[in-house]
């Protein structure tokens, strides 16, 4: 199965019409993020059969010029605090100086599915679309990934992401949980959790190519 087929199957389910009606109504009446055309950007960038890592966030950044459809990724120059903390932990974990912009497309191209539990948000209002039905959709995404017969590491950052653990039963997959990288919680277990080296250790043991976390080394 590919993402296009998966989404077509979701479109037939009862929750989907309500979800998309609510999303369309919000985008018509309010400023919402990411841009409508980028709502499914994560799936466009990382084909299902290429997924090696799933980084599960909460909902998109809700300020201008930030969210573009990949969890934690931004196109603006000023990096949001959560992403700053992710880069800090990359440095701490991998012993390399991370000096890069906020666009994480380079990870998505390597098989890192950067997924939020909720895919849209109203400007300036965190979790404003959480009741629309996105969590049903992302539950189904996680279930579909869990059925895949390929090594996958799931990074569940924060309580909303960790609720998805119930769907992860495949012994070929590794689940790593920690606090969210937000400044409100990073000191409660995200820092020093060393997720990036753990991902690569698991991929190496599974005879998969490792993720190049340092953008300067990705070509």
Rounded to whole angstroms, how far apart are CA atoms 114 and 107? 8
Q: Collapsing DSSP states into helix, strand and coil, what is residue 76? A: coil
Q: Using alpha carbons, select from 16, 4, 12, 11 the residue that is nearest to residue 132.
A: 16
For residues 80 and 71, is the Cβ–Cβ distance under 8 A? no
* Two tokens, residue 95: 């012993």
59 labelled catalytic: yes
- Phi, psi torsion values for 204, nearest 5 degrees: -65, -45
- Of the residues 59, 93, 105, 149, only one is catalytic, namely 59
User: Order of strands across the sheet with 53-57?
Assistant: 112-116, 53-57, 152-157, 173-178
181 within 8 A of 187, measured Cβ to Cβ: no
Contact 186, 94 (CB under 8 A): no
30 phi/psi in degrees, rounded to 5: -130, 165
Residue 59 has a CB neighbour count (10 Å cut-off) of 23
Peptide bond into 34 cis (omega under 30): yes
Q: Which residues are catalytic?
A: 59
């Amino acid at each position: 199965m590919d993402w296009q087929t998966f989404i077509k199957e979701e479109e037939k389910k009862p929750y989907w019409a309500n979800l998309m009606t609510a999303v369309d109504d919000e985008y018509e009446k309010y400023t919402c993020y990411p841009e409508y055309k980028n709502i499914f950007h994560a799936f466009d960038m990382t084909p299902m059969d290429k997924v090696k890592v799933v980084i599960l966030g909460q909902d998109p950044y809700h300020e201008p010029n930030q969210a573009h459809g990949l969890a934690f990724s931004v196109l603006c120059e000023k990096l949001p605090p959560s992403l700053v903390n992710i880069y800090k932990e990359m440095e701490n974990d991998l012993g390399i100086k991370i000096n890069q912009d906020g666009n994480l497309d380079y990870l998505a191209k390597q098989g890192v599915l950067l997924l939020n539990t909720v895919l849209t948000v109203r400007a300036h209002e965190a979790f404003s679309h959480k009741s629309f039905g996105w969590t049903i959709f992302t539950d189904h995404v996680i279930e579909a990934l869990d059925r895949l017969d390929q090594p996958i590491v799931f990074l569940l950052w924060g309580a909303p992401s960790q609720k998805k653990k119930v769907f992860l039963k495949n012994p070929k997959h590794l689940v790593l949980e920690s606090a969210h990288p937000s400044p409100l919680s990073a000191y409660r277990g995200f820092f020093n959790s060393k997720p990036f080296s753990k991902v690569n250790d698991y991929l190496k043991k599974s005879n998969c190519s490792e993720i190049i976390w340092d953008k300067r080394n990705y070509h």
